[in-house]
């Protein structure tokens, strides 16, 4: 008897991704050959171009940057620089509407940036996100170079594989998983950050340390004073170790988040909603610090984490000058606005709710249910602790140091 023929064809293939994260100082100093060598080593023909998209806050803090870039490419001329560099608004506003995205795509079209050319983005995480999204969808993929300029983007968002913009009032509703071809971390950009931006990026380092590396958390604990007081050597160490842990995670079993597990989003279910509810007046890192505090206290109240260890986490956050709660995070009943973040988290993951909680410092545990009653208790405890730490708390006291440590 003739064997029945299958009524389908099957295709299976894998694609390998590789990119380097470089650490340097004064990237566009003519004598710094790092960027020029990267371009030269990856040159493909004489028609390659590079278009820069730059955060307007970076331009304001580094007014010579455009001239420095132009001068650099006069000496390192293996590729054609598009002199009309695109300046877009920094901060979350660049992701909240289509204007910045459309401007980048229009510039790609106007200047003939093809799949062998480069779109290089210089800025904080939001600008890198929208530029990366534009690079990923224009021509189905333009080579994207990231040059992060904040602590948060150098140790977390800028070195990863995610790109996106906000839509329907939801964080990163539209986005892609596309790695950059290279990342260049330049510590010169960190020197001009505000104290809030400097501190905010430390939250992501605390996050990854708490779920992956107890020794690194201990280092942050021991170095909280120099970190809070803008010691560059300490910050460079923090950024590099945090970047290493993130890259190790990305190289694991689910880099494009096909499943419902996102351990690196520890503390983020409430953080994303807190940002939105505050009209993005709360920085991402500040919201993550609050989210870490809430989930850590919840872990302690639910019997997963020892109370003394939870207090260590809260103390580090306070010592660094973070707020650990905010009125928009108040949880009073099952329909409190911040709890919508749980449903949006579940929807964004595309499966069952999966929240990372601590079972020990350096060790996380995934859970699939959250007890609203315990969350209410956790929120109340954080308010009590913050009132002790900041007895004269106001809504605008981001640069105070706490009067009380847990």
Q: Please, which residues bridge with residue 144 across strands?
A: 119
pLDDT of residue 402: 44
Portion of the chain with pLDDT greater than 90, in percent: 68
Same domain, 216 and 295: yes
Same domain, 253 and 290: yes
In a domain, 111, yes or no: yes
Same domain, 124 and 186: yes
Q: Which residues of 238-276 are buried (b: 16+ CB within 10 A; e: fewer)?
A: bbebbbbbbeebbeeeeeebeebbbbbbbbbbbbbbbbb
Band of residue 350 on the pLDDT scale cut at 50, 70, 90? low
Domain final residue, candidates 172, 192, 212: 192
Q: Residue 6 gets which letter from DSSP?
A: P
Q: Could you tell me where the beta strands, DSSP code E, fall in 239-284?
A: none
CATH code of the domain containing 332: 1.20.1090.10
pLDDT of residue 358: 96
Same domain, 213 and 146: no
Question: Which tens digit of pLDDT belongs to each residue from 251-305?
Answer: 776 666 665 456 678 998 899 889 889 988 999 999 999 999 999 999 999 999 9
Domain final residue, candidates 175, 192, 209: 192
3-state SS, 279-311, equals CCCCCHHHHHHHHHHHHHHHHHHCCCCCHHHHH
Same domain, 240 and 291: yes
Calculate helix-pair angle for 284-301, 372-389, nearest 10 degrees: 120
In a domain, 280, yes or no: yes
In a domain, 312, yes or no: yes
Question: Average pLDDT in the 336-358 region?
Answer: 79
Poorest-pLDDT segment among 252-261, 333-342, 358-367:
252-261
Question: Which tens digit of pLDDT belongs to each residue from 145-184?
Answer: 999 999 999 998 899 899 999 988 887 889 999 999 999 9
Which positions ≥6 away from 96 have C-beta within 8 Å?
A: 165, 166, 280
User: How many Cβ atoms are within 10 Å of 406's Cβ, its own excluded?
Assistant: 19
In a domain, 46, yes or no: yes
In a domain, 396, yes or no: no
- Answer with the residue of higher pLDDT: 58 or 342: 58
Cβ-defined contacts of 87-90 (< 8 Å, 24+): 87/54, 87/55, 87/56, 87/59, 88/53, 88/54, 88/55, 88/56, 88/127, 88/130, 89/55, 89/56, 90/55, 90/56, 90/57, 90/58, 90/123, 90/124, 90/126, 90/127
Provide the number of structural domains found in the chain. Answer: 2
Range of the domain at 94: 20-192
Question: Could you tell me which of 358, 171, 173 has the C-alpha nearest to residue 270?
Answer: 171
pLDDT of residue 276: 87
Q: Is the pLDDT of residue 35 over 70?
A: yes
In a domain, 11, yes or no: no
């Amino acid at each position: 008897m003739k064997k029945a023929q299958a009524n389908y064809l099957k295709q299976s293939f894998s694609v390998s991704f590789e990119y380097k994260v470089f650490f340097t100082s004064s990237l566009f100093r003519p004598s710094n050959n790092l960027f020029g060598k990267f371009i030269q080593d990856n040159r493909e023909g004489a028609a390659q171009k590079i278009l820069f998209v730059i955060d307007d806050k970076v331009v304001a803090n580094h007014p010579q940057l455009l001239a420095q870039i132009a001068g650099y490419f006069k000496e390192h001329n293996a590729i054609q620089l598009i002199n009309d560099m695109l300046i877009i608004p920094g901060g979350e506003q660049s992701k909240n509407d289509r204007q910045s995205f459309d401007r980048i795509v229009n510039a790609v079209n106007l200047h003939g940036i093809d799949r062998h050319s480069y779109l290089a983005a210089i800025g904080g995480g939001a600008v890198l996100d929208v530029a990366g999204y534009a690079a990923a969808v224009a021509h189905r993929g333009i080579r994207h170079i990231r040059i992060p300029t904040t602590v948060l983007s150098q140790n977390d968002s800028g070195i990863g594989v995610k790109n996106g913009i906000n839509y329907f009032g939801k964080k990163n509703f539209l986005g892609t998983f596309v790695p950059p071809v290279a990342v260049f971390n330049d510590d010169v950009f960190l020197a001009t950050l505000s104290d809030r931006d400097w501190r905010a990026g430390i939250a992501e380092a605390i996050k990854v340390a708490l779920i992956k590396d107890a020794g690194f958390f201990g280092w942050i604990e021991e170095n909280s004073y120099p970190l809070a007081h803008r010691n560059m050597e300490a910050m460079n160490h923090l950024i590099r170790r945090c970047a290493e842990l993130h890259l190790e995670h990305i190289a694991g079993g689910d880099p494009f988040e096909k499943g419902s597990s996102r351990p690196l989003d520890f503390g983020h279910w409430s953080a994303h909603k807190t940002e939105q509810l505050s009209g993005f007046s709360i920085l991402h890192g500040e919201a993550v610090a609050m989210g870490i505090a809430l989930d850590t206290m919840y872990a302690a109240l639910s019997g997963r984490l020892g109370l003394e260890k939870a207090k260590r986490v809260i103390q580090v956050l306070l010592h660094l000058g973070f707020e650990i709660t905010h009125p928009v995070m108040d949880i009073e009943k099952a329909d409190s606005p911040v709890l919508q973040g749980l449903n949006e988290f579940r929807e964004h993951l595309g499966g069952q709710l999966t929240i990372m909680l601590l079972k020990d410092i350096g060790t996380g545990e995934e859970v699939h249910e959250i007890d609203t009653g315990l969350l209410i208790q956790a929120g109340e405890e954080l308010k009590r602790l913050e009132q002790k730490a900041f007895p004269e708390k106001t809504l605008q006291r981001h640069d105070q140091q706490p009067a009380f440590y847990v």
